[in-house]
Amino acid sequence: GCLPKSIGTGIAVGFLTGLFGVGGGFLIIPALVLLLGLDMPAAVATSLLIIVINSAAGFAAHAGDAAIDYRIAAAFTLTAIAGSLVAARIATRMPTRRLQRLFAYLVFAVAAFVVIRTI
């Protein structure tokens, strides 16, 4: 069923997140769509819940380890929320296939950026 596949996929995504420091939607959404068969809207919603819980756990684990610039965190958070709300309205009007294609382009662009920075 889906539960063993979900656990295996979660372990793999968690391992890659811990190893490379990346994760979030970058790895979770493709895993949910390609490996677990969720449609794009369900994958986005599920991914966001996973990210919230993961982020809370990561924050709790590292809260005392480093200084936090609360001004930057607040500015980033507020503008990210605004951008997310605008984009969510746009996404509801777009076909799932188009969203998947745009996400794939984003993944390739990030990969190219990482390769260029590495070289």
Interacting residues of 29 by C-beta distance below 8 A, sequence separation 6+? 40, 43, 44, 47, 103
Give the model's confidence band at 1: pLDDT under 50 very low, under 70 low, under 90 confident, else very high: low
| Domain assignment of residue 28, given as a range | 2-118
pLDDT digits (tens, 9 = 90+) for 15-28: 887 777 766 677 88
pLDDT at 106: 85
The number of folded domains in the chain is: 1
Dihedral sign from CA coordinates of 100, 90, 112, 20: negative
In the chain, the N- to C-terminal Cα span, in Å, equals 42
- Mean pLDDT for all residues in the chain: 85
Decide which of 61 and 117 is more confident: 117
| pTM for this entry | 0.69
* Overall size of the chain counted in residues: 119
Q: Rounded to an integer, what distance in angstroms lies between the CA atom of residue 3 and that of residue 17? A: 21
